[in-house]
């Protein structure tokens, strides 16, 4: 570099990738010269959801985001860098910073949803001409450029996708964090304040002691969770047997909130799985965690392939169904007042903790769409609002799947509530945990309290319609009625 010549500055736009390790945009920027790292708090994230007018980001995810930003700023500072925090639309914030600090390039990870893609397009348009744009895709375990098909040719069936992936040579190694200190721009812009809890809308949040875990945002907490689950508690070797659990921290990895915000990457998790396989044991459980990460990959690629179709009522396959728009039924579902303990317990877990097990999610999604026949997109919006681990591709993709309008739609499939209850909460521990009014109901009827006689209700201090709701629907009859309505709609 000539004396007096300014070193190149690269802007790094942090999005759902709040980490410094396995971060291609940051690593390459650090190699090229000075780095300016920025996160934009986009006011559009505060807008209510389209159909139900719900807050898009509930308080638990908001708190998690706030913690993750604190953690990222600390991590960048420890590397000699800084995290600039800006309030505003990226297409306004980034071009203005590019001019102020003289960026020659902007690096970022591509998003997967349609809104993310349109913001990216707007950013590209608004940047000064001499600021080049370079993007990465590190959100999946697989490297899309190594796949034997283009993203828009992703197979519609998961098994086909998985088999093609498993024919490859394994997964890319995670990238290291930048090794040498980050250089700051010659005249760095002001850092900007991190958002307060009040600004994020998660002021006085109380943690429910029944929650599976207190999830702290940030890469450090993600690494601690890996350390605890994989190494200290040694749970990975039994994951395949425990993964359908409903209670407690250790039936599954609970890594999803960190993966969703990119505090840890899928490749970093996979690297730990492979180390565990080398150092401790390799079995069907260790494989199964990779298998689940491939489900995650699959939904990311399917979302990228199908774009806006992910969000339409007729889903990825364009299958028209006679969805109901029953406000009361929907409210009862959200609030865990359907009178069906397996559903209510899971729904009552979600709101005060931001989490629900995978088994629970499948059950309540099936109940909403197949027993109540309610528009699945309402459910997807509720989950989007409440889930700590909300991820556009995983949420809307799984909802498509549960509603029977997704890529692998095969007629009217549903989860039989009685069977699910007897398999996954036979003794009613989860039901009692989240619906304490059922505490004294005998085990035999814990999942069918509507069968309690008046004297049994009295003895259990659980009067139907007073202490616990009567069921909103008859389980078998409602499934049969919705099946019939589907079949009729097919004949039309």
Residue 292 sits in the site that holds ligand FAD (CB under 6 A) = yes
Q: How far is CA 432 from CA 106, 130, 365, 445, 446, in A?
A: 52, 62, 21, 12, 8
141 touches ligand FAD (CB under 6 A): no
Is beta strand 34-41 parallel, antiparallel or unpaired with respect to 9-14?
parallel
295 near ligand FAD (CB under 6 A): yes
Evaluate the CA torsion angle 137, 143, 144, 145 in order and state its sign. Answer: positive
Whether the CA torsion 471, 351, 257, 242 is positive or negative: it is: negative
Please tell me whether residue 395 binds ligand FAD under the rule CB under 6 A: yes
Residue that has been written with the tokens 């889930």 in this structure: 387
Cβ closest to ligand FAD, residue 292 vs residue 375: 292
Q: Is 273 in the site for ligand FAD (CB under 6 A)?
A: no
The two three-digit tokens of residue 232, written as one number: 């200290």
x/- mask, ligand FAD, residues 309-348, rule CB under 6 A, reads ----------------------------------------
CB of 292 to ligand FAD, least distance (A): 4
Q: Does 299 bind ligand FAD (CB under 6 A)?
A: yes
Provide the 8-state DSSP code for 3. T
Interaction of residue 13 with ligand FAD, rule CB under 6 A: no
Q: What are phi and psi of 374, to 5 degrees?
A: -85, 145
Q: Does position 390 bind ligand FAD by CB under 6 A?
A: yes
On whether the CB atoms of residues 48 and 54 are closer than 8 A, the answer is yes
Strand order in the sheet with 9-14: 83-87, 34-41, 9-14, 103-109, 132-136
Alpha carbon of residue 328 to chain centroid: 27
Smallest separation, CB 161 to ligand FAD (Å): 13
What tokens appear for 366 in the block? 């099936």
Provide the minimum distance between the beta carbon of 112 and ligand FAD in the complex, in angstroms, as a whole number: 12
Per-residue x/- track, 206-245, ligand FAD (CB under 6 A): -------------------------------------x--
Shortest separation between residue 269's beta carbon and ligand FAD, angstroms = 7
- Residues 20-59 touching ligand FAD, rule: CB under 6 A, are none
Query: Given the rule CB under 6 A, which of 54-62, 126-134, 254-262, 427-435 is the region that contacts ligand FAD?
Result: 254-262
Please state at what angle helix 341-353 crosses helix 376-386, rounded to 10 degrees: 40
391 binds ligand FAD (CB under 6 A): yes
Residue 285 interacting with ligand FAD (CB under 6 A): no
- 482 touches ligand FAD by CB under 6 A: no
The conformation of residue 253, written as its DSSP 8-state character, comes to -
- For residue 440, the minimal CB distance to ligand FAD (Å) is 31
Q: Does 383 bind ligand FAD (CB under 6 A)?
A: yes
- Would you mind telling me the total number of residues written for the chain in this entry? 492
272 binds ligand FAD (CB under 6 A): no
Stretch that binds ligand FAD, among 12-20, 26-34, 117-125, 294-302 (CB under 6 A): 294-302
What is the gyration radius of the CA atoms in the chain, in angstroms? Answer: 24
By the rule CB under 6 A, 402 interacts with ligand FAD:
yes
Q: Is the dihedral of CA 193, 197, 199, 200 positive or negative?
A: positive
Six token digits for residue 165: 């992936």
Tokens of 188: 């760095």
Number of H-type helices and E-type strands within the chain = 20, 5
Minimal distance, residue 243 CB to ligand FAD, in Å: 5
User: Which segment (22-30, 249-257, 279-287, 417-425) binds ligand FAD by CB under 6 A?
Assistant: 249-257
Does the footprint of ligand FAD cover residue 270 (CB under 6 A)?
no
The structure tokens listed for 46 are: 């505060």
Among positions 16, 346, 394, 400, the unique one binding ligand FAD when judged by CB under 6 A: 394
By CB under 6 A, residue 137 contacts ligand FAD: no
**Cβ neighbours of residue 322 closer than 8 Å, sequence gap 6 or more:** 373, 485, 486, 488, 489
Strands (E), 208-279: none
The contact mask relative to ligand FAD for 341-380 (x = CB under 6 A, - = no) is ----------------xx--xx--x---------------
Smallest distance from the beta carbon of 304 to ligand FAD, in angstroms?
A: 14
How many CB atoms lie under 10 A from the CB of residue 47?
11
- Cβ nearer to ligand FAD, comparing 20 with 293: 293
Closest to ligand FAD by CB, 182 or 261: 261
| 135 Cβ contact list (under 8 Å, min separation 6) | 25, 107, 108, 109, 110, 120
Kindly list the residues in this chain that would bind ligand FAD in the complex (CB under 6 A). 243, 252-256, 259-260, 289, 292-293, 295-296, 299, 357-358, 361-362, 365, 383, 387, 389-391, 394-395, 398-399, 402
């Amino acid at each position: 570099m000539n004396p007096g010549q300014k070193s190149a500055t690269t802007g790094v736009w942090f999005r759902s990738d709040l980490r410094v390790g396995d971060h291609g945009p940051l690593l390459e920027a650090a190699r090229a010269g000075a780095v300016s790292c920025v996160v934009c708090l986009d006011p559009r994230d505060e807008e209510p959801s389209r159909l139900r007018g719900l807050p898009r980001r509930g308080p638990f995810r908001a708190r998690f985001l706030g913690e993750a930003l604190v953690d990222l700023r600390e991590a960048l500072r420890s590397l000699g860098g800084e995290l600039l925090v800006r309030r505003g639309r990226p297409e306004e914030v980034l071009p203005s910073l590019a001019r102020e600090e003289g960026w020659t390039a902007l690096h970022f990870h591509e998003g997967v949803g349609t809104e993310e893609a349109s913001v990216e397009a707007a950013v590209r348009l608004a940047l000064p001409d001499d600021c080049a744009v370079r993007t990465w895709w590190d959100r999946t375990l697989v490297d899309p450029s190594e796949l034997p098909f283009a993203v828009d040719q992703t197979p519609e069936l998961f098994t086909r996708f998985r088999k093609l992936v498993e024919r490859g040579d394994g997964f890319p190694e995670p990238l290291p964090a930048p090794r040498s200190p980050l250089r700051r721009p010659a005249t760095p812009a002001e850092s900007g304040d991190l958002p307060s809890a009040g600004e994020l809308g998660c002021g006085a949040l109380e943690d429910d002691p029944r929650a599976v875990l207190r999830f702290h945002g940030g890469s450090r907490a993600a690494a601690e969770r890996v350390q605890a689950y994989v190494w200290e508690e040694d749970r990975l070797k039994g994951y395949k047997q425990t993964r359908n659990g409903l209670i407690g921290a250790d039936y599954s990895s609970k890594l999803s909130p960190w993966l969703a915000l990119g505090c840890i990457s899928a490749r970093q998790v996979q690297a730990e799985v492979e180390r565990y396989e080398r150092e401790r044991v390799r079995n069907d459980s260790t494989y199964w965690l990779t298998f689940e990460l491939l489900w995650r990959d699959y939904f990311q690629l399917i979302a990228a392939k199908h774009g806006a179709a992910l969000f339409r009522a007729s889903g990825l396959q364009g299958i028209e169904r006679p969805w109901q728009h029953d406000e009361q039924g929907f409210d009862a579902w959200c609030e865990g007042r359907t009178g069906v303990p397996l559903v209510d317990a899971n729904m009552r877990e979600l709101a005060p903790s931001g989490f629900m097990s995978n088994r629970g999610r499948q059950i309540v999604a099936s109940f909403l769409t197949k027993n109540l026949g309610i528009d699945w997109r309402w459910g997807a919006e509720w989950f989007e609002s409440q889930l700590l681990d909300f991820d556009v591709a995983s949420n809307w993709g799984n909802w498509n799947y549960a509603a029977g309008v997704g890529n692998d739609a095969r007629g009217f499939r549903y989860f039989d509530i009685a069977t699910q209850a007897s398999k996954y909460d036979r003794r009613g521990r989860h039901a009692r945990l989240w619906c304490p009014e059922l505490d004294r109901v005998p085990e035999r009827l814990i999942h069918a309290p509507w069968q309690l006689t008046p004297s049994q209700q009295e003895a259990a201090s659980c009067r139907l319609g007073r202490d616990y709701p009567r069921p909103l629907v008859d389980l078998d009859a409602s499934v049969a009625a919705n099946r019939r309505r589907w079949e009729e709609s097919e004949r039309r």
